[in-house]
Amino acid sequence: MSAPATPAPTLRERLAARERLVGAFVIELPVRAVPEAYALAGFDFLVLDLEHADTSLERLSLLIASARAAGVGTLVRIEAGGWSSLTRVLDLHPDGVMVPGVASVEEVEEVVRRARFAPLGERGLAPMVRHAAAVGTAYGELDARVALVVQVEGVAAVEQAAAIASVDGVDGVFVGPYDLSQALGVPGQLDHPQVLEAGARVAEAVLSHAALGVYVSDAAAASPWRELGASFFTHGTDGQMLLRACRAARAGWDEAASEALART
């Protein structure tokens, strides 16, 4: 009789191991085919967005289930300041949550209180079928599987990065370069020296406590962040991916037409 297969590491374990993970944001196309396509392409995780998207919890549940079936991890980014939604989101069993716009240790401690079960936190527990199907009665295993990532996006958060990352229960710190660039007075300039210098300060403060992640527009843009020690990356958004593919496909038709015309 063969030995039972070793369970695949959770997203939380992969973050702790500082694996290089590549993900993407799902914002504008919350449909089943999207996580399936990313999984087939070999992406490690998806950030299912509630901050800028109008995705309902019912739709979110479908996306999480589809991603799990396809073999790609999920982080749900809650809406800014929407800490009260953490229980409902976590009850859908994503692999983790991402909390945007934290600026202080006190805010992160409140997030942990709401997102973790006792004794670390006070997340509400209900005898749901979904929990029983996942872990039976071993509810502590739910916490062990869930990654908690907080976003550093402002000047105050950069200054508090070490203290934020060291809060017990935090697994990763994610730099939001768009909002950070705006806070630094260079909106949208993700490769501006001020943004990268702030990133270097965050990396120095964070890496001994938590994994460091960042949003990038493509693989080349990740290079300076890898050098700083970042280990998980989001490569653009679903809408951007579709737009690039559409443009590339249309350009192919134009190129083919030009070549045909040149042969006549």
Cα gap 124→115, rounded to integer Å: 9
Say if strands 45-49 and 211-216 run parallel, antiparallel, or are unpaired. Answer: unpaired
Structure confidence by residue, pLDDT tens digits, 172-226:
999 988 888 888 889 988 888 898 898 899 999 999 999 999 999 999 999 999 9
Domain positions in the chain are: 11-263
Which residues are 58's β-sheet partners?
none
Q: Is the pLDDT of residue 135 over 70?
A: no
The percentage of the chain sitting over the pLDDT mark of 90, rounded to a whole number, equals 67
Largest Cα–Cα separation, the chain: 77
Q: What are phi and psi of 155, to 5 degrees?
A: -60, -45
Q: What is the mean pLDDT of residues 22-35?
A: 97
Cα gap 150→134, rounded to integer Å: 25
Q: Is the pLDDT of residue 138 over 80?
A: no
**Domain 11-263 -> CATH class:** alpha beta
CA atoms within 13 A on the CB side of 65: 10
Structure confidence by residue, pLDDT tens digits, 80-109:
888 788 989 999 999 999 999 898 999 999
| Burial bucket for residue 212 (CB in 10 Å: 0-12, 13-18, 19+) | buried
pTM for the predicted model, two decimal places: 0.91
Which residues, including other chains, have CB under 8 Å from residue 90's CB and lie 6 or more apart? Answer: 97, 115, 123, 142, 146
Cα gap 230→200, rounded to integer Å: 10
116-122: list long-range contacts, CB under 8 Å, 24+ apart: 116/143, 116/148, 116/169, 117/142, 117/143, 120/168, 120/169, 121/169
Could you check whether the bond before residue 94 is cis, i.e. omega within 30 degrees of 0? no
Q: What is the mean pLDDT of residues 226-230?
A: 95
**Cβ proximity of 173 and 98 under 8 Å:** no
Q: What is the mean pLDDT of residues 30-54?
A: 96
